[in-house]
Amino acid sequence: MKQTIVVIGNGMVGQNFLAGLVLSPAKAGYEVITFCEEPRAAYDRVHLSEFFSGKTAEDLSLVEDGFFADNGITIHLGDKAVAIDRELKTVTSAKGLTVQYDKLVLATGSYPFVPPVPGHDRPQCLVYRTIEDLEAMSAAAKTGKIGTVVGGGLLGLEAAKALKDLGLQTHIVEFAPRLMAVQIDEAGGAMLRRKIEALGVTVHTSKNTSLITDGEQCVNKMCFADGEELETDVVLFSAGIRPRDDIARACGLDVGQRGGIVIDNQCKTSDPAIYAIGECALWNGMIYGLVAPGYAMARTVVADLAGETASFTGADMSTKLKLMGVDVASIGDAHAKTQGAMVYTYQNGEQEIYKRLVVSADKKQLLGAVLVGEASGYGTLLQYCLNGIELPENPDALILPHRSDESVGLGPDALPASAQICSCYDVSKGAICCAVEAGALSVNALKAETKAGTGCGGCVPLLKAVLNAELAKQGYEVNTDLCEHFPYTRQDLYHLIRVEGIKTFAELLEKHGKGKGCEICKPTVGSILASYWNEYILKTEHLGLQDTNDAFLANIQKDGTYSVVPRITGGEISPDRLIALGQIAKKYQLYTKITGGQRVDLFGARVDQLPHIWKELIAAGFESGHAYGKSLRTVKSCVGSTWCRYGVDDSVSLAIELENRYKGLRSPHKIKFGVSGCTRECAEAQGKDVGIIATENGWNLYVCGNGGMKPRHADLFATGLDKATLIKTIDRFLSFYVRTADRLQRTSVWMENMEGGLDTLKAVVIDDKLGLCGQLEQQMQHVIDTYQCEWKTTIEDEDKLKRFRHFINSDLPDDNLAFIEERGQRRPADAEERKHFKMVEVA
């Protein structure tokens, strides 16, 4: 008969235990039952603040679809385990359920510590732990303007980011004299503070809150021991965690003096049938508030159940985080407490970088490090520290800036196979090399195969370095050539065209390519030339580069006819124009459909009809909608404050202005915008490449969203912008995309593939880390200044119009076209209908 394991708690560690257990031979011997107090199964608390930059509860979930059912695990959601009877070996839940156990695993986690300040339970005094807490924060932020975090540690800074993302003026109140007092030293804390304050967050240190009471301008007022006061709407406690050990305490298990369920090296509590793992467990007097040690405990229990020898013997507490866009890392003995330790410090006031190395007395071993402002060396330093690799002769070279080509990084080849690359999932270099050998040839494949890099993500650069070194060793060459004619990427070609001032495909092919070109490189180069020089795309030397859509300035359909889409900026159209559109469509018997981008698509135009249709459209005041181009398509808008009861700002006017600004911009792929006049988001801006939402504090800008085949929620990029800043930011963003994306790569995939992702994008576009922004703005201005309606230019050029015929030697139309009427409009006849029905005359 099978025994029963009961797991109390389905948080990150509880779930990690279950995921490990189902892969273990131990699983066969057990029925598994788990209790989860929250209404949803395990989710990623480490990335909780991403809830406010667009991630949903589903995105944050750590449980694969069908996980419980497929593995025969019973989960009681929304039912808290409340009592353990160790005599009878039963667990009883809040809903009154009692289950028998043979083995019990406590993964009850921790709760946020709320200082017992009078008034701590007032309205809008919140904590930051669960998705429900986040929803309460969202609700509070809707009515408030100011938010204050109590606690300046890791979690406090994360919480401050969340408040800032919610559009609140943010304060941090810390009891200690500096931020992140546990992890970093005084000078590092000072640098961090300057950087955080530069982001518009006010930091108050050495502040002891004595009372929270009614505010005058805000909901709450915080009074400090030094007599100062702070008005704030939201108070968010993030002052540390406490282990949830009440259920263990109640059944008489040993707990520590300051809390925590005492465990041994096998994670067993004082009752050998009961284990405790994660933040509720006290090992050797330590509570581990990070996820990686919790996972290590979970692995230990799985191994113990399988009868393997395994021990938890403490964990490395090194961390690397991006806190509000600032890199912060702490490794090992950051405070140099080891006997005889020596310290090297590097401080760069201008760039606000602080680095500190702690080394052993003989200068051979790295004991610890602190990095603020720039943490790219984290992976290397951590490897030195964890694997006891002997330091170079001058250890300070590891933190001094590189002023030449010399590399002091620890290449992946220098690491032993046992080196842990991913600490969240305990993946060694050896395991990664095996996966590469077995065919995982990309970072994504490695993530899927080994889980490395899917926890906190901090090891991804190192993972990539190991991958590339392995690929090189195995003789793989990563081919990024555009096609057989150009041994370059699109980005390389853009660079060549820009730097060498190349103006035609022929010149580029002559200098940098071979052969005659193909349907890959020709449109790509045509697009780059159009993005950079913005010449008329049907100029003789450019004509042969254009796909049929661009070549005929219309969209080809399955029967070889075209559809026509005039621009309707922001989706706003007067009755007169709408009538004109209807009359033209009727005259040419065009099938008419409203598009998702708030325009009208006219289908079934023969190539010889296109110029006639456009002469009439232009006379009625329309211009090209560029629906045929890889270029800006539409700026969708809701009606906004002009009419809507809820409108916060004039979304239509902004949409029209943006569409007119960027119309005609040729890009690696199509670009769509959306502008919503309030957070109800009727324009679906967060599903667009560029999305803008009006708030009381200004415009919020979202980027890199996508609908279509692979939907992606856009990321919040900047908040509370005035119009001038908004436009400047979009100018830079689009120019950078045009410059660096691959062929046919939408902004979403472009950003996801960028090293450093959204943070890199922000660094380049907002902080101008590459010093490119001047160029990017100038490039966009050039495109705006040289805009032309391609159809207007074309109908004014008799020579160009000659091409708009099916035969150059006859006025006959294509005799293969056949239409059939359906719901009062013409559409192409299908193969069956061609046989059985009388065709509508081709007129």
Partner 1 sequence: MGWIDVCSTDELQPDSGVGVAVAGQQVALFYMLKDERIYATSNFDPFGNANVLSRGLIGDIGGQPMVASPLYKQHFNLETGVCLEEDAVQIPVYPVRIAEGRVQINIGETA
Strands (E), 168-251: 169-173, 202-204, 209-214, 220-224, 229-232, 234-237, 241-243
Indicate the helix (H) or strand (E) that contains 618: helix 610-619
Integer CA distances (angstroms), 648 to 400, 638, 678, 692, in order: 50, 11, 5, 12
Nearest distance from C-beta of residue 606 to partner 1, angstroms: 11
Q: Give which of 137, 178, 124, 148 is closest to 48, Cα–Cα.
A: 137
Indicate the helix (H) or strand (E) that contains 291: helix 291-305
Residue range at the interface with partner 1 (CB under 8 A); choices 31-39, 627-635, 691-699, 811-819: 811-819
Q: Give which of 65, 86, 67 is closest to 75, Cα–Cα.
A: 67
Cβ-based nearer residue to partner 1, 322 or 803:
803
Q: Give which of 819, 827, 823 is closest to 843, Cα–Cα.
A: 819
Residue range at the interface with partner 1 (CB under 8 A); choices 20-28, 74-82, 645-653, 805-813: 805-813
Cβ-based nearer residue to partner 1, 479 or 810:
810
Cβ-based nearer residue to partner 1, 520 or 644:
520
Stretch 471-510: interaction string toward partner 1, x if CB under 8 A: -------------xx-------------------------
Nearest distance from C-beta of residue 709 to partner 1, angstroms: 17
Q: Among residue numbers 596 through 655, which ones bind partner 1 (CB under 8 A)?
A: 607
Q: Judged by CB under 8 A, which of 406, 709, 810, 838 binds partner 1?
A: 810
Radius of gyration of the chain (CA): 31
Nearest distance from C-beta of residue 561 to partner 1, angstroms: 9
Nearest distance from C-beta of residue 189 to partner 1, angstroms: 59
Nearest distance from C-beta of residue 241 to partner 1, angstroms: 57
Cβ distance 605 to 559 under 8 Å? no
Nearest distance from C-beta of residue 505 to partner 1, angstroms: 8
Which residues pair with residue 321 across a beta bridge?
328
Nearest distance from C-beta of residue 527 to partner 1, angstroms: 13
Indicate the helix (H) or strand (E) that contains 422: strand 420-422
Q: Give which of 179, 189, 130, 138 is closest to 162, Cα–Cα.
A: 138
Cβ-based nearer residue to partner 1, 258 or 834:
834
Cβ-based nearer residue to partner 1, 82 or 518:
518
CB neighbours (10 Å) of residue 38? 17
DSSP H helical segments within 620-662, as ranges?
651-662
Q: Give which of 554, 553, 558 is closest to 827, Cα–Cα.
A: 558
Longest dimension (CA), the chain: 98
Q: Each residue of 319-345: b (16+ CB within 10 Å) or e?
A: bbbbbbebbbbbbbbbbbebeebeebe
Residue range at the interface with partner 1 (CB under 8 A); choices 64-72, 438-446, 546-554, 627-635: 546-554
Instruction: Count Cβ atoms within 10 A of the Cβ of residue 119 and give its class: 0-12 exposed, 13-18 middle, 19 or more buried.
Output: middle
Cβ-based nearer residue to partner 1, 297 or 610:
610
Nearest distance from C-beta of residue 819 to partner 1, angstroms: 13
Rounded distance between C-alpha atoms, residue 43 and residue 61, angstroms? 4
CB neighbours (10 Å) of residue 791? 24
Cβ-based nearer residue to partner 1, 546 or 779:
546
Q: Give which of 6, 2, 4, 5 is closest to 93, Cα–Cα.
A: 6
Q: Give which of 537, 479, 491, 485 is closest to 508, Cα–Cα.
A: 485
Nearest distance from C-beta of residue 490 to partner 1, angstroms: 17
Residues 737, 741, 747, 753, CA torsion sign:
negative
Rounded distance between C-alpha atoms, residue 740 and residue 550, angstroms? 22
Nearest distance from C-beta of residue 828 to partner 1, angstroms: 9
Cβ distance 704 to 714 under 8 Å? yes
Cβ-based nearer residue to partner 1, 59 or 484:
484
- The answer to the question of residue 802 lying near partner 1 (CB under 8 A) is yes
Residue range at the interface with partner 1 (CB under 8 A); choices 146-154, 190-198, 617-625, 801-809: 801-809
Nearest distance from C-beta of residue 129 to partner 1, angstroms: 53
Cβ-based nearer residue to partner 1, 30 or 505:
505
Q: Which residue has the tokens 């690359």?
A: 421
Nearest distance from C-beta of residue 672 to partner 1, angstroms: 24
Nearest distance from C-beta of residue 669 to partner 1, angstroms: 16
The tokens of 119 are what?
A: 């008034």
Nearest distance from C-beta of residue 516 to partner 1, angstroms: 4
Cβ distance 819 to 840 under 8 Å? yes
Cβ-based nearer residue to partner 1, 178 or 542:
542
Cβ distance 591 to 827 under 8 Å? yes
Nearest distance from C-beta of residue 518 to partner 1, angstroms: 4
Q: Among residue numbers 203 through 242, which ones bind partner 1 (CB under 8 A)?
A: none
Q: Among residue numbers 552 through 571, which ones bind partner 1 (CB under 8 A)?
A: 552, 556, 558-560
How many residues comprise the chain? 843
Stretch 435-474: interaction string toward partner 1, x if CB under 8 A: ----------------------------------------
Amino acid at 765: V
Stretch 355-394: interaction string toward partner 1, x if CB under 8 A: ----------------------------------------
**What are the counts of helices (DSSP H) followed by strands (DSSP E) for the chain?**
27, 38
Nearest distance from C-beta of residue 613 to partner 1, angstroms: 18
Q: Among residue numbers 504 through 543, which ones bind partner 1 (CB under 8 A)?
A: 515-519, 521-523, 540, 543
CB neighbours (10 Å) of residue 393? 7
Cβ-based nearer residue to partner 1, 151 or 513:
513
Cβ-based nearer residue to partner 1, 516 or 838:
516
**Please, which residues have CB within 8 angstroms of residue 406's CB and are 6 or more apart in sequence?**
none
Cβ-based nearer residue to partner 1, 114 or 521:
521
Q: Among residue numbers 31 through 60, which ones bind partner 1 (CB under 8 A)?
A: none
Q: Judged by CB under 8 A, which of 56, 548, 753, 778 binds partner 1?
A: 548
Cβ-based nearer residue to partner 1, 1 or 808:
808
Q: Judged by CB under 8 A, which of 709, 724, 808, 843 binds partner 1?
A: 808
Q: Judged by CB under 8 A, which of 812, 822, 837, 839 binds partner 1?
A: 812
Rounded distance between C-alpha atoms, residue 585 and residue 672, angstroms? 25
Q: Judged by CB under 8 A, which of 816, 821, 822, 839 binds partner 1?
A: 816
Nearest distance from C-beta of residue 541 to partner 1, angstroms: 8
Q: Residues in contact with partner 1, total (CB under 8 A)?
A: 35
Cβ-based nearer residue to partner 1, 344 or 804:
804
Q: Judged by CB under 8 A, which of 264, 352, 535, 547 binds partner 1?
A: 547
> β-strands 90-93, 73-77: how paired?
unpaired
Nearest distance from C-beta of residue 502 to partner 1, angstroms: 17
3-state secondary structure of 707: coil
Integer CA distances (angstroms), 416 to 312, 420, 547, 725, 785, in order: 22, 9, 52, 49, 57
Cβ-based nearer residue to partner 1, 484 or 822:
484
3-state secondary structure of 7: strand
Residues that bind partner 1 (CB under 8 A): 484-485, 515-519, 521-523, 540, 543-545, 547-548, 551-552, 556, 558-560, 607, 802-803, 805-810, 812, 814, 816, 831
